[in-house]
Amino acid sequence: MENFALIFTALFIGYIINKADIFPKDTHIILNQFILYISLPAMALLQIPKLTLSYEVVIPVLIAWSVMSLSALFIFQTSKLLGFTKNTTGALMLVGVLGNTSFLGIPIIRAYLGEEALGYVLMYDQLGSFIALSTYGTFVSVYYSNTKDVNIGAILKKITTFPPFLSLLVALFFIGTSFHPIVLSVLTSLSNTIVPLALVAVGLQLKFKIHADELKPFALALMTTLIIAPIIAYGITALFSWQNLASQVSIMEASMGPMITAGAVASMSGLAPRLSSSIIGYGTLLSFLTTWIVYHIII
């Protein structure tokens, strides 16, 4: 209960701060940068070494890519069937496919499954969602906005120099290793900043305006990311008879709301920014209900 009290309090604080206009407009950017460059690397170095080197480590990665691939295919075909514009389709291919597997995934899964689940969360997020955002997300934004050519070299550089990704790769070499208590204390303190800072940052970016002519794509995006995605993940785990913490984390991750960064990419690319913001806002709140349902199904 304490974990959820913190989650909702931090979200509410962020939302009120934004409405009151008492912090600079770029506060959420600064908070996100602190998390990406300090908090997430610390958590990776703290949690990944606790994993056991086995096939379970790759389960979150396999499920992440399977879920995103099938979700993208579903949205692409449905958007074509419903006759959505290119801009709308591009926005849905971002916010309807990429989930908020770190800023929401970490606090929610920690609340439900405990600290021992966080290593698998990072595998799903960094080797799944983050790489997808950097590659697939870049391609979609460029293709659907027709602004410039895809720069493969720039994408690879972005991935290989991203601090959380680098720290995850380093942490993989320390699986089974015990750090000195002082090192553990420092990493624990830094990683503990993720939950309050990430949720305040999410609250700062919540928007809820939705127009009647956007209801169909709005519903398609939320149905895909909150319902279809976890069903796909559950189906994969059932197909391979995976019944462990790694599979539970993967299903929970698949049920997260839309990725806020994906919404930012859509907006910056001119891909239905108003629609994207609405999907992020409502999807974030609804994900608390859907993750609760998913948790009680899989446990």
Q: What is the pLDDT of residues 241-280, one digit of tens each?
A: 999 999 999 999 999 999 888 887 887 778 888 888 889 8
The residue range of the domain holding 163 is: 2-298
Contacts of 83 (CB under 8 A, 6+ apart): none
19-57 pLDDT, tens per residue? 888 888 888 888 878 888 888 888 888 888 888 777 888
pLDDT score, position 150 = 61
Q: How far is Cα 187 from Cα 256, in angstroms, rounded to an integer?
A: 26
| pLDDT tens sequence across 120-162 | 999 999 889 988 988 888 888 888 877 556 667 766 777 777 7
> What CATH number did the domain enclosing 108 receive?
1.20.1530.20
Distance CA 100, CA 124 (A): 11
Number of domains in the chain: 1
CA distance 290 to 286: 6
CB proximity list for 251: less than 8 A, separation 6 or greater: 63, 230, 233, 234, 237, 294, 298
Per-residue pLDDT at 41? 87
Taking residues 186-211, what's their average pLDDT? 83
Q: What is the pLDDT of residue 149?
A: 62
Sign of CA dihedral 137, 250, 200, 220: positive
- Pure H helices in 137-272: 138-145, 152-160, 163-172, 181-191, 194-204, 215-223, 229-239, 245-254, 260-268
